[in-house]
Amino acid sequence: MKETIDLLGKILTNILTALYEPFGFSFLLSFLAMFFYLYAYEPAAAGKGWKSAIVTWYQKFKESVFFRKLFLLFFVTSMILFRTLLNRNLWMNPLSKVMGGWGIWETVNGEQKLTTECIENVIMMVPFSSVVMWTFKEKIGNGWKKILWYSGKIAFIFSVSIEILQLLLRLGTFQLSDIFYNTVGGVLGGLLYCVVMKARKRLSSQHWGQHWGQTP
């Protein structure tokens, strides 16, 4: 029992560390990225100094739901890119572990070593696909089959793109397990989005039902 608790503790620590490390960088990068968005879609406010730019940014964030969604999407995406590309060491042979990374244990110098990469690959795609579905829900629609299809498809394409960049830039190793677990995480994110939207819709209908029931 104690060994199981220690194992779960190590897994939780590794996952929280993986989420904590890129937090500040991702927040700053997302903040700056939204300035480019404002420059592209709100050019009237450009060229008036940095104070005016910050005020415009704040007002847009306060008034526009879509702007806040995009900010969150940039934030989640930059966390994934930091973990998979921007904070990786160069590898001499990026094809050395193509079939590796399927379990939580790996053999290093003849010893079993705990690794949580497969779990991290699932978890980091859950918020990504959920936010993508939430941001572009008008284009994707509300059908749960379509949501799961698009969430898995987007996660798969995003994961393949990352793995190809890792291969070409020699940042990490190209692994089929990463693509598989990322896609699973994407589908789970789509499923989470469906559950949250359904629960929100049910709560909203109950609220309006109580409101009309109390109206004389």
pLDDT of residue 211: 53
Amino acid, res. 6 = D
Q: Say yes or no to pLDDT of 40 above 70.
A: yes
Taking alpha carbons only, the member of 26, 29, 143 closest to residue 80 is 26
Q: What is the pLDDT of residues 177-195, one digit of tens each?
A: 999 999 999 999 999 999 9
Q: What's the mean pLDDT in 15-33?
A: 86
Q: What is the pLDDT of residues 95-139, one digit of tens each?
A: 777 887 777 766 666 676 667 788 888 988 999 999 999 999 888
Residue 214 confidence class, pLDDT cut points 50, 70, 90: low
pTM of the full structure: 0.81
pLDDT of residue 78: 93
Kindly report the average pLDDT of the chain as a whole number: 84
Q: Count of CB atoms within 10 A of residue 33's CB?
A: 16
Taking alpha carbons only, the member of 118, 95, 112 closest to residue 177 is 118
Q: Say yes or no to pLDDT of 206 above 90.
A: no
Q: What is the DSSP string of the chain?
A: -HHHHHHHHHHHHHHHHHHHTTHHHHHHHHHHHHHHHHHHH-GGGTTS-HHHHHHHHHHHHHH-HHHHHHHHHHHHHHHHHIIIIIT--B-S-TTTTTT---SSEEEETTEEEE--HHHHHHHTHHHHHHHHHHHTHHHH-S-HHHHHHHHHHHHHHHHHHHHHHHHHHTBS---HHHHHHHHHHHHHHHHHHHHHHHHHHHHHHHHHHHHHHH--
Q: What's the mean pLDDT in 73-77?
A: 94
